[in-house]
Amino acid sequence: MKLLASVLSASLALTALTPLAAQAAPAPTPAAETQVLALSKQIIAMRSVVGEGNETGKVAGAIRDALVAGGWAPGDIEIVPYKDTAYLIATWKGSNAKLPPLVVSGHMDVVEAKRADWVRDPFVPVVEDGVLYGRGATDMKFNAAMAVSSLIDLRKGGFKPKRTVVIAFSGDEETTMETSQAIAQRLKAAELVINVDGGGGKLDEASAKPVYWTWDGAEKTYADYKLEVTNAGGHSSAPRPENAIVQLSQALERIGAYHFAAEQNPLTKAWFERAAAFEPDAATAAAMRAFAANPGDEKALAVLRANPATVGKVGTTCVPTMVNGGHALNALPQRATANINCRIFPGHKPADIMAELAKVANEPEVKFTDVTEGSIASPASPMRADFVKAAEAAIHAAYPGVPVIPVQASGASDSMWYRSVGVAAYGASPLMTKDSEDFSHGLNERVRLTNVRPGLVYFNELLTRLAQ
């Protein structure tokens, strides 16, 4: 942890990208604003869900067509089919081929959504009262449409990047992340990655005005562990001391009551310090400040661990997510299994966390197996002064004076694959959302269209600064 802190601290002085040149960021055009909504609706209507009928390739095709119409040569856009999905890499060549490229990252797939569960058809985009509804509205087809529309607007407006800009959209970020890993390997010589599937801002519940904006420079490691108990079984009329379901249940009860050690790094410390000022609940705000000052404060930890919005930021979390056992109503169970899903604080190996869980379970008959797919441990990205300066200038161009807070994401994204090969990656979406309207992965997903113009202002400013 001391090493991480020193790396992050030292990196504040780093300025690897070229300083801002004479080209100023242009204001978004009305055509760009129109394109954001049109492209969003077009790709939301495509059911880019893993499995039969996956239309991720069609999403890539729609984005390719928009880019070609915006000035990209067809030969500079590659759509790579992979199993039932595809990924896209589009290149806008810069004037200085010696400069490592800037990558604009995201994904085109979405999680499953069933019509019977939704008020509206999740794959028929609808605008009502200034809100766009549909699967992918927030995660993350709207963000993709804004980034693409901004780049098209910049190109049509005559902007000429010195640094090559690469659009890299994966096709299975919501599942196995195989295309995410493949893209990162191809782009491991990049200078920096802006992941538009991360970060974002908070709107006030009453006024809908921006409260603060965050960018994320690290994320926790995703892991799944299978717990399994097997017994000889037998007739239910003759119970035995060893019962697979009982043994597994006892292990799960201990795991469910367990807390991993609280931890802190420069990103999470900064978030607790700064976000406390905007926390309406006095007890939670006090706990945030106390934890920032002392990660061992048990009273503060009790408050933060009881809050779904903060529990993921104080350390590793593991929770049972699935359980299965037995084979007949009148038979002793021969097998019982469960899945434990963990979000691991940076700096720990998944094998070590599994070993700690086995110790906590304290049931020798429970077998632990790492069954994780589509994840890799990754270090935090440095708090590079060039990125921080550009991001703050961009969000202030869109929302003057809004506070900016760095954060560590509790979820997983394509950023982990870039970080794992040594490329700094930052979640930096301009999307502003009320907590009560955040339905990513949930029912009736939506986004406010008031995000369109400021989002384009942000992207125009950010990309102009970082590509020069």
What percent of the chain has a predicted confidence (pLDDT) above 70?
95
**How far out from the chain centre does Cα 159 lie?**
30
Summarised one tens digit per residue, pLDDT across range 65-92 is 999 999 999 999 999 999 999 999 999 9
pLDDT at 443: 86
Residue 243 has pLDDT above 60, yes or no: yes
pLDDT at 7: 35
Rounded mean pLDDT of the chain? Answer: 93
Residue 42 near residue 62 (C-beta atoms within 8 A)? yes
Q: What is the 3-state secondary structure (H, E, C) of 204-241?
A: CCCCCCEEEEEEEEEECEEEEEEEEEECCCEECCCCCC
pLDDT at 6: 38
pLDDT at 291: 98
Half-sphere exposure of residue 12, counting CA atoms within 13 Å on the CB side? 9
Write down the residue that tokens 């760009």 correspond to: 32
Q: Which two tokens stand for residue 316?
A: 């590793």
Summarised one tens digit per residue, pLDDT across range 48-58 is 999 999 999 99
Q: Three-state DSSP class for 276?
A: helix
pLDDT at 411: 80
pLDDT category at 430 given cuts 50, 70, 90 is very high
Contacts of 215 (CB under 8 A, 6+ apart): 198, 199, 391, 404, 406, 407, 426, 427, 428
Name residue 85's amino acid.
T
The lowest-confidence range among 17-26, 190-199, 343-352 is 17-26
pTM, entire model:
0.87
Q: Distance between CA 48 and CA 111 in Å, rounded?
A: 8
Q: Distance between CA 93 and CA 460 in Å, rounded?
A: 17
The dihedral through the CA atoms of 63, 64, 68, 72 has a sign that is: positive
pLDDT at 50: 97
Residue 22 has pLDDT above 60, yes or no: no
pLDDT at 441: 81
Summarised one tens digit per residue, pLDDT across range 105-154 is 999 999 999 999 999 999 999 999 999 999 999 999 999 999 999 999 99
pLDDT at 169: 98
Closest CA to 338 of 266, 412, 258, 253: 253
pLDDT category at 437 given cuts 50, 70, 90 is confident
- Residue 114: CB atoms within 10 A of its CB come to 8
Closest CA to 95 of 18, 39, 27, 207: 18
pLDDT category at 410 given cuts 50, 70, 90 is confident
Indicate the pairing of strand 131-133 with strand 446-448. Answer: antiparallel
pLDDT at 76: 98
Residue 333 has pLDDT above 70, yes or no: yes
pLDDT at 1: 39
pLDDT category at 290 given cuts 50, 70, 90 is very high
Beta bridge partners of 367: 228
